[in-house]
Amino acid sequence: MESIIETTKRPHALCIPYPAQGHINPMLKLAKLLHQKGFHISFVNTVFNHNRIIRSQAPNSLDGLPDFRFYSIPDGLSPSNPDATQDIPLLCKYTAINCLAPLCNLISRLNDSSLSEVPPVTCIVSDGVMSFTLKAAEQFGVPEVLLWTTSACGLLAYMQYHQLVGRGYAPLEDMSCVTNGYLDTVIDWVPGMKDMTLKDFPSFIRTTDPNDVMLNFVIDETAALPTARALILNTFDTLEQDALDAIFAAQPHIYTVGPLHLMMNQIQDNRLDAINLSLWKEENDKQTANTVA
């Protein structure tokens, strides 16, 4: 066993995913890989999802390990169905407003040797759409790396939203643009993306509202990309080289670590196998094959 002195000298990554299943899963895989490389892990869910995971699995499902621990912070949203996905636009709008202070308080507690027997936080690994965490990294003087859970092409497409708005392609003039052929408009000025049309971009641009929450959320989050220490993408170079080269202009420190599900084969600590952050009740697995869960 490691002594307390040895434990407190380990690098400590605080991992915080966007609070939805498709973002939690890749962050958990990355956290397990970092643990395999010697990191102490603090994995931070929202209180809503923390409780939902416990209900979906078992009361002890988030007990974790001495060096792979789970914590929760409030998202500040009004109570909703405890076993359903929360309203995504509301999450996007309010996580940045409500989560920063609780996150900073958590880091302060983890760094207080009189309250905690874990090493001080040495880096933050945040979901790419949780860029408010960059303020916490700055406050505590630690580097932050962003994990974007989309493909490189997906991220590059999101990075064009500000240009699409600036050039007048979005928001839509009216909703008839969705069906009248307007979305077939060729967009030929995006480096690394050939033969693109408007319909090939993620659908948040298909709004008529210049104040649309999701449209502006994407613009704000991609604008933060250059300020992170580095970017992690769940892809590999030969699959998306052109897109990666284009992203490099905004963020030159790119780590392609995919496919993450295959990288799991490198993990030798069998204790991590039991850590599963499914938000869905186990009863769903027992439904018949012709049932839609």
Instruction: Report, as residue numbers or ranges, the catalytic residues.
Output: 23, 127
Element (H, E) at 123: strand 123-127
In sequence order, the 6+-apart residues with CB closer than 8 A to the CB of 268 are 36
Element (H, E) at 63: none
Between CA 289 and CA 101 the distance in angstroms is 44
84 burial type by CB count under 10 A (0-12 exposed, 13-18 middle, 19+ buried): exposed
Cα angle 231, 265, 143 (rounded to 5 degrees) comes to 25
Burial 167-184 (b: 16+ CB within 10 A, else e): eebbbbeeeebeeeebbe
CA dihedral 222, 225, 230, 235 (to 10 degrees): 20
Q: Quote the tokens at residue 59.
A: 């009361």
Element (H, E) at 257: none
The pair phi, psi for residue 170, each rounded to 5°, is: -145, 150
Between CA 234 and CA 18 the distance in angstroms is 15
Radius of gyration of the chain (CA): 20
SS3 call for 164: helix
